[in-house]
Amino acid sequence: MAQRVQEEDEQMTSTDDLIQAQIELYHHCFAFIKSTALRAVIDLCISDAIHRNGGAATLSDLALNIGLHPTKFSHLRRLMRVLTVSGVFSVEDHNGEAMYTLTRVSRLLLNGDGERTHALSHLVRVLVNPLTVASHFSIHEWFTIEQAAAMTPFEVAHGCTRWEMIANDAKDGSVFNTAVVEDSRVAMDIILKESCGVFQGISSLVDVGGGHGAAAAAIATAFPNIKCTVLDLPHIVAEAPTTHSNIQFVGGDFFEFIPAADVVLLKYILHAWQDDDCVKILRRCKEAILARDAGGKVIIIEVVVGIGSKEIVPKEMQILFDVFMMYVDGIEREEHEWKKIFVEAGFSDYKITPVLGARSIIEVYP
């Protein structure tokens, strides 16, 4: 039987098909190289080097700017070749020498001086992190071994939860919290330009798990009449900047208590939790907000798998993000999965507005 299947398989596979299949397999295996190359150019501050050089730089310019070891010149060329083919940087011939410039992607990697509204270099450091990547090599154990199945892949790989590591490692926690601030600034800039109506008519808002208050600051600046409260764990809010007079920081556990307000904001929170925990969080939110006819609602900013841009990159990002979140036993949900937890938490209706490409605003009503 096995021999016949093998013979049929060989007959059905032409040489061209076999070559293409092998190429595709190699391509899938090497996909992580894009990520590690991206992390390398962030750590080397390549985008900043190009920016400081007037927006265009040769390899020699980059080598000088980043303090490249003289034996690594050709290696830098090879690294940049990966990222120009991937579209992260642009390259043109300039008198026989490669000249690199920034693209819309590599501009997001600029650090520069001061606070940039659209900077995501720390976010990349969180997403392309050896600790996180190592967790995904524990998926086989997590799927098949009973003891491992009771933990998250991160726990299987490192012996503690992701949140425990963030709390106990000051440097790791600082990078993580800065990444949250960066992502919040970009997201809120888009939302306040494209869907600011979601915050109209609100007098008070609680940003649950709001970290250092980047989202709340953007809302309070755009809507000075909204009194904003940021709820997060005590060790996180203790380090939050007090730069906005209309924002109050509260240390606490959102499973236990959420301060009362017209509206609760949950930005990239629920995807880190399984359904039972999400229901508990949403029930706390429902206790905190006004009735629907008084303007009460929960605003969720998350991926809704299958909703949003139909282009291949955003669609693929949703699916990849879903598997990425397995490292903390999280999940990116489809609409029917969102509806299930809304109903179980006692909410009556919801509205999805896809404004962030691969992510959406979900307004949930009591």
pLDDT score at 276: 96
Q: How many CB atoms lie within 10 A of CB 222?
A: 15
Phi, psi of 48 (to 5 degrees): -65, -35
Q: In terms of C-beta density within 10 A (0-12 exposed, 13-18 middle, 19 or more buried), how is residue 304 classed? A: buried
Please write the tens of the pLDDT for every residue from 279-308. 999 999 999 999 998 899 999 999 999 998
The tokens of 263 are what?
A: 């509206």
What structural domains and CATH numbers belong to the chain?
Answer: 28-110 (1.10.10.10), 112-195 (no CATH)
Q: What is the edge-to-edge ordering of all strands in the sheet holding 56-58?
A: 56-58, 97-102, 89-94
pTM: 0.88
Report how far residue 102's alpha carbon sits from residue 84's, in angstroms, rounded to the nearest whole number: 10
pLDDT score at 238: 87
Q: Are 110 and 51 in contact (CB under 8 A)?
A: yes
DSSP 201: T
Q: Are 355 and 311 in contact (CB under 8 A)?
A: no
| Per-residue model confidence as pLDDT tens for the chain (366 residues) | 666 656 656 655 788 888 999 999 999 999 999 999 999 999 999 999 999 999 999 999 999 999 999 999 999 999 999 999 999 999 999 888 899 999 999 999 998 554 566 889 999 999 999 999 999 999 999 999 999 999 999 999 999 999 999 988 889 988 998 999 899 999 999 999 988 889 999 999 999 999 899 999 999 999 999 999 999 999 888 888 877 788 999 999 999 999 999 999 999 999 999 999 999 999 999 999 999 988 999 999 999 999 988 889 989 999 999 999 999 999 999 999 999 999 999 999 999 999 888 899 999 999
pLDDT score at 308: 83
Let me know if 118 is a catalytic residue.
no
118, 212, 271, 336: which one is catalytic?
271
Three-class SS state of 300 = strand
Q: How many residues does the chain have?
A: 366
Half-sphere exposure of 214 (CA within 13 A, CB side): 20
Report how far residue 216's alpha carbon sits from residue 190's, in angstroms, rounded to the nearest whole number: 14
Q: How far is CA 262 from CA 202, 215, 219, in A?
A: 6, 17, 14
Report how far residue 188's alpha carbon sits from residue 184's, in angstroms, rounded to the nearest whole number: 6
pLDDT score at 116: 61
Please write the tens of the pLDDT for every residue from 178-236. 999 899 999 999 999 988 889 999 999 999 999 899 999 999 999 999 999 999 999 88
Q: How far is CA 87 from CA 21, 77, 90, 100, 189, in A?
A: 24, 15, 7, 11, 24
Rounded to the nearest 10 degrees, what angle do helices 31-43 and 73-85 cross at? 120
Q: Are 218 and 188 in contact (CB under 8 A)?
A: yes
Phi, psi of 333 (to 5 degrees): -100, 150
Phi, psi of 103 (to 5 degrees): -115, 180
pLDDT score at 239: 83
Strands (DSSP E) along 49-194, which ranges?
56-58, 89-94, 97-102
Chain-centre distance of CA 168, in angstroms?
22
